[in-house]
């Protein structure tokens, strides 16, 4: 991917898409931000609103564009989809959102897009798998935001309960961005101290209760305010930053498994080195037996969801 390109396209101008555009603007990551959406007036309105914030920061060109404009982007971010429910599984949205995301990918690839594609639409992992297999892009260039958000939620919860800066908490959530996510407790630590040995750990809720809190965090926010947008926008922006600055940072994102953890033909989250070309290296955590089995179960959930989608789409 040419490193000189600094155009980012955001597909979808709902709460998540516009929050992503604003976060990208505030973090000075692009010289051009293209907005694409189905409602012309809304897209132009959001672009105009963002343009009027530009004089207070670094010069950025923000405009309502087309998929032809997106083709020249270093990164395209898909945020479009049907609104999520406050309860139930993210996988319940698969049938409807698969149609929408497939349409976006077809239009994007028809214009010759060859940058990095970031998927932020739920159900995240199955749609990341669909995006990779149907776009024809290399595995490295299709990234799902995955459990990067779940990981940050767990760090936040642990930081709050242990009364320590969440940035000093290192705890990974891998697998599905959803109800089968896996917290890697065996590797959790605070400033290098294993979580099990950290002062005050005995006051924490059980590991199961903590993981449930992480899984319910998104629906809880959505039930209170009607949507979730800021935290996921921060995750998208962090991924863009690692790509555009060629940081080779380790981020927990969703990518196609090609034998890692003994898994293939499924996209799920694990630590990855992210740089200019997207996912440059997929890292495997050393899991204990329980964590490995939980990850395999998570992969099975995702494979089943994709298989059911294919079955339902097949002609009788």
121 is in an annotated binding site: yes
Known binding residue 124? Answer is: yes
- Tell me whether residue 122 is annotated as binding: yes
Q: Exposed, middle or buried by CB within 10 Å (0-12, 13-18, 19+), for 94?
A: buried
Residue 165 annotated as binding site: no
Q: Is 103 annotated as a binding residue?
A: yes
The answer to the question of whether 42 is labelled as a binding residue is: no
* Closest to 7 measured CA to CA, from 40, 35, 45: 35
Q: Is 38 annotated as a binding residue?
A: yes
Q: Is 248 annotated among the ligand-binding residues?
A: no
Task: Return the DSSP state at 204.
Answer: S
120 carries a ligand binding annotation: yes
**Mode of pairing for the β-strands spanning 116-119 and 169-170:** unpaired
- Is 151 labelled a binding residue? yes
Alpha-helical regions (H) of the chain: 15-26, 40-51, 67-70, 94-110, 124-135, 148-162, 207-225, 230-244, 289-313
**Which strands sit side by side in the sheet containing 169-170, from one edge to the other?**
169-170, 189-190, 193-194
Q: Which of 156, 177, 216, 304 is catalytic?
A: 177
Q: Is 216 helix (H, G, I), strand (E, B) or coil?
A: helix
- Those residues with Cβ within 8 angstroms of residue 210's Cβ, 6 or more apart along the chain or in another chain: 154, 157, 158, 183, 204
Q: Is 138 annotated as a binding residue?
A: no
Angle at 256 between CA 239 and CA 168, to 5 degrees: 40
Alpha carbon distance 245, 275 (integer Å): 7
Clarify whether 44 is annotated catalytic.
no
Instruction: Find out whether 15 is annotated in a ligand binding site.
Output: yes
On whether 298 is known to bind a ligand per the annotation, the reply is no
CA nearest 117: which of 210, 213, 203, 11?
11
Q: Find out whether 114 is annotated in a ligand binding site.
A: no
Provide the terminal-to-terminal Cα distance of the chain, rounded to the nearest Å: 42
Known binding residues: 12-17, 38, 67, 90, 97, 103, 120-125, 145, 150-153, 155, 170, 228
Known binding residues for substrate: 90, 122-125, 150-153, 228
Known binding residues for beta-D-fructose 1,6-bisphosphate: 155, 170
Active-site annotation, residues:
177
């Amino acid at each position: 991917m040419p490193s000189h390109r600094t155009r980012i396209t955001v597909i979808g101008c709902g709460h998540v898409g516009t929050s992503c555009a604003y976060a990208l603007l505030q973090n000075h990551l692009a010289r051009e931000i293209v907005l694409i959406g189905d409602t012309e007036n809304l897209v132009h309105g959001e672009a105009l609103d963002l343009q009027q914030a530009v004089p207070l920061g670094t010069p950025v060109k923000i405009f309502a564009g087309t998929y032809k404009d997106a083709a020249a982007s270093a990164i395209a971010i898909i945020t479009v989809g049907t609104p999520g429910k406050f309860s139930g599984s993210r996988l319940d949205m698969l049938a409807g959102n698969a149609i929408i995301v497939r349409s976006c990918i077809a239009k994007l690839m028809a214009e010759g897009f060859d940058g990095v594609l970031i998927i932020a639409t739920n159900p995240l992992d199955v749609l990341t798998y669909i995006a990779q297999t149907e776009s024809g892009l290399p595995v490295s260039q299709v990234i799902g935001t995955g459990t990067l958000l779940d990981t940050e939620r767990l760090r936040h919860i642990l930081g709050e309960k242990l009364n320590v800066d969440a940035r000093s908490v290192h705890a990974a959530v891998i697998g599905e961005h959803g109800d089968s996510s896996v917290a890697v407790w065996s590797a959790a630590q605070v400033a290098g101290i294993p979580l099990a040995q950290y002062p005050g750990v005995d006051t924490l809720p059980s590991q199961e209760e903590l993981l449930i809190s992480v899984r319910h965090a998104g629906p809880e926010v959505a039930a209170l305010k009607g949507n979730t947008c800021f935290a996921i926008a921060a995750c998208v922006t962090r991924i863009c930053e690692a790509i555009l600055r060629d940081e080779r940072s380790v981020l927990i994102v969703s990518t196609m498994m090609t034998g890692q953890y003994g898994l293939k033909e499924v996209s799920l989250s694990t630590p990855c080195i992210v740089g200019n070309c997207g996912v440059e290296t997929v890292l495997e955590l050393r899991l204990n037996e329980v964590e490995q089995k939980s990850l395999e179960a998570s992969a099975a959930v995702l494979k089943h969801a994709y298989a059911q989608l294919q079955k339902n789409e097949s002609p009788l």
